[in-house]
Chain A
Amino acid sequence: MTAGQLAALVSSVVVVLAFVYPFWWLVSASLKPREDVFDNGFWPDPLQPANYVEVWNQLPITTWLFNSLVVGVAAAVAVTVSSALVAFGFAYFDFRGRTVLFWCVLATMMLPGVVTLVPTYLLWDQLGLATTQVPLWASNLFGSAFYVFLLRQFFKSLPRDTLDAARVDGCGYLSMFWRIVVPMSKPALAITFIFEFQASWVDLLRPLVYLQDPELFTLPRGLKAVLDQFGQGGEREWELVLAANVIATVPMVVLFIIGGRYVVQGITISSGDKE
């Protein structure tokens, strides 16, 4: 082993520890009695799995999990379908104003979200939906600039001849899209779905703005309420806060380990590096 290889090995170990150990600390602390949470011991001793039972009994965690799932799936399905249609419009057709309109799409990607926050809230308020979960996913029905861009890049790489041949065979544009483009684009559509599901799953700002009723909370919103109620605002029952924290973190970690390949691919495409 050369000095270079040894240095790489040592740094790899340090990196893995720095990134993984906080997760282990979290899991371990969530299984400790209250007075041991900060002992930084590797193993919980004594082990107190009852923290999870208590969290489960005291908090509507299952409701929050379910809410996050419903909102996440609605947001991801809405954005995938609408962005795919729009992206196909930009990728396949040549129409007047295409360049200008696509610049508008790109400009929206740069826009800080906070600029539209207040009027969007007032709009939902006018519609009587400001304290429901609808604002968390319904705006996705109109596509999202980032995914329109991502999917357009992908659609442009599809073989034009295959699409035109379908046209010659008498396929309508919509059925061509559905029967040929969609099956050929499964990886890109999966990336879109996973990205948006993840973004929705972790979002805190909009649930803070819209959700008032704890029964409607998504998991991050609920977790913030747990911190305020049990953590620094309450009696510092950190073992319960941490158990809830583990429950909120695990689904994303599992999803990433299953679908990580797509995620990595998606990041690579979206950073403008298509190869």
Chain B
Amino acid sequence: MSVRRSRVAYAFIAPWAVGFVFLTLGPILATLFLSLTDYDALPGAETSFIGLDNYRQAFSEGTPGTALLNTGFYALLYVPLSVVIGLSMALLLRRAGRATGLLRTVIYLPVVTPPVATGILFLLLLNGQEGLINAVLGWLHLPTPFWTTDPAWIKPGIVIMSLWSVGSVAIILFAALGDVPQTLLDAAQIDGAGPWSRLRHVILPMISPALFFIVITNTIASLQLFSEVYTMYFGAQTTNPPEAALFYVVHVFEEAFTFLHMGYASALSWLLFLVIAVVTAVQLAMSRKLVFYRGDA
């Protein structure tokens, strides 16, 4: 390899390198630095270095803890449900024959709907007194909670809304199911394995890399949920937003851009960064035991 070719290569990747330094690495370090100051983006506000005070405040204040618990509760509910429902739908798609294409389009439509639109739609569908969801539940003689006002039911309501977009999971698993060798399934059937046993002992191990990919990416995305929740419960005209709907990124956004406490908000975003890094590391460690990679992959 000649030097000249190296130079050409560097020229090709130069845009990314510049962006990496100025829009990723630089800002990460700047956030870390800001988190150690009391920087408020207010006219005339003095800024000084305050060490770890912002982090102390985050732990003592309670609100960030509430926001983290809300977000964690949501993620623990949504991620497993999205995998189970997404997998059921992927299996259904495999059996749908000629209807597969249509069904695939239908379940993916909510994914391309703007989150603001989804938020508004579900704000009305989840309405406790007159919403469609409670109308259906009432018709089935099931409980009809006040999804948007009862603190105990706000997050389950948000989970229902998120599950409307579960098509993204189903599409990935549908593709993964297509790669399970038919010979393995046939062999299992000949050995007397029923449908449940084939799912448990053949299909799940074979698609475990895709399941793992979904768990990791959905967890990271869940911990950063913002648009739908902000649309439904926060904003210029909303007084007294329910505490049960305070998600972590919503809290960071409000501290930074509503109250302009940018130093404090920087500390909050670094804490989220650490939480996500730890959660992802734990999931990666667990995957060593649970995920099966084919030798030929």
B partners with A: yes
- A residues sitting closer than 8 Å to B (CB atoms) are 4-5, 8, 11-12, 15-16, 18-23, 25-26, 29, 37-38, 40, 82-83, 85-86, 88-90, 92-96, 98, 101, 104-105, 108, 110-123, 139, 141-143, 148, 173, 198, 201-205, 208-209, 219-220, 223-225, 227-229, 231-234, 238, 241-242, 245, 248-249, 252-253, 255-257, 260, 263-264, 267-268, 271-273, 275
Contacts of B5 in A (CB 8 A): 93, 95
Contact of A115 among B27, B107, B120 (CB under 8 A): B27
Q: Which residue on chain B has the smallest CB distance to residue A201?
A: B114
Contacts of A267 in B (CB 8 A): 168, 171-172, 175
Contact A228–B226 (Cβ < 8 Å): no
| B120 pairs with A205, CB closer than 8 A | no
Q: Are B124 and A29 in contact (CB under 8 A)?
A: yes
Is B145 an interface position by the 8 A CB rule?
A: no
By beta carbon, the residue of chain B nearest A204 is B227
A112 touches B27 (CB 8 A): no
Q: Which residues on the A side are within 8 Å of B112 (C-beta)?
A: 198, 202, 252-253, 255-256, 263
- B13 lies within 8 A of A120 (CB): no
How many angstroms from the CA of A273 to the CA of B210 in the assembled complex?
Answer: 8
- Which residue of chain A has its CB nearest to the CB of B209? A272
Q: When chains A and B are docked, how far (Å) is the Cα of A53 from the Cα of B288?
A: 58
A-chain residues with CB within 8 Å of residue B237 when the two chains form the complex = 228-229, 232-234
The stretch of B14-22, B52-60, B184-192 that contacts the partner chain = B14-22
Contact A119 to B26, CB < 8 A, known contacts A93-B9, A204-B226, A233-B236: yes
B13 touches A101 (CB 8 A): yes
Q: Which of A21, A95, A227, A249 contacts B231 (CB 8 A)?
A: A227
Bound CA–CA A15/B114 (angstroms): 21
* Residue total for B at the interface (Cβ-Cβ under 8 A): 92
A115 touches B12 (CB 8 A): no
Complex Cα gap A12–B172 (Å): 18
- A116→B116 contact, CB < 8 A: no
Q: Which residue of A lies closest to B167 (CB)?
A: A19
Decide if B245 is an interface residue (CB 8 Å cutoff): no
* B-side contacts of A205, CB under 8 Å: 226-227, 249, 253
In the complex, which of the residues A20, A85, A118, A234 contacts B256, with contact meaning CB atoms closer than 8 Å?
A118
CB <8 Å contact, B164 and A202: no
Q: Are A116 and B31 in contact (CB under 8 A)?
A: yes
Q: Which residues of A contact B227 (CB under 8 A)?
A: 202-205, 220
Give A25 to B28 CA distance when docked, in angstroms: 44
Q: Judging by beta carbons under 8 Å apart, are B164 and A223 in contact?
A: no
Whole-angstrom distance from the CB of A84 to the nearest CB of chain B?
10
Most buried by B among A5, A8, A225: A8
Beta-carbon contact of A104 and B235 below 8 Å: no
Interface check B89, CB cutoff 8 A: yes
Known interface pairs A12-B92, A15-B89, A272-B209. Does A204 touch B230 (Cβ–Cβ under 8 Å)?
yes
Q: Can you offer 5 A-B residue contacts whose CB atoms are under 8 A?
A: A38-B131, A93-B12, A204-B116, A205-B226, A231-B123
CB-based nearest B residue for A249: B117
A110/B19 contact (C-beta < 8 A), A119-B34, A272-B213 known:
no
Tell me the complex Cα distance, A241–B19, Å. 39
14 further interface pairs, Cβ-Cβ under 8 Å (given A16-B106, A255-B112):
A15-B92, A23-B109, A89-B9, A93-B5, A95-B1, A101-B17, A117-B252, A118-B269, A204-B116, A220-B117, A227-B235, A233-B235, A264-B171, A272-B209
Given contacts A105-B16, A245-B121, contact A110 B280 (CB under 8 A): yes
Measured between beta carbons, the chain A residues less than 8 angstroms from B34 are 118-119
On whether A143 and B270 interact (CB within 8 A), knowing A202-B114, A233-B237, A275-B179, the answer reads no
* Contact status A257-B132, CB under 8 Å: no
- Chain B 107-133 interface mask (CB, 8 Å, partner A; 1/0): 111101111110011111101001110
A90/B13 in contact, CB under 8 A: yes
- Interface with A: B62-70, B75-83, B96-104, B197-205, which one? B96-104
**Are A20 and B172 in contact, CB atoms less than 8 angstroms apart?**
no
CB neighbours (8 Å) of A253 from chain B are 109, 112-113
Between A19, A90, A173, the greatest number of chain B beta carbons within 10 A of the residue's beta carbon is seen for A19
Which residues of chain A have C-beta atoms less than 8 A from B236's C-beta? 225, 228, 233
Whether B124 and A38, one on each chain, are in contact in the complex, defined by CB atoms closer than 8 angstroms, is yes
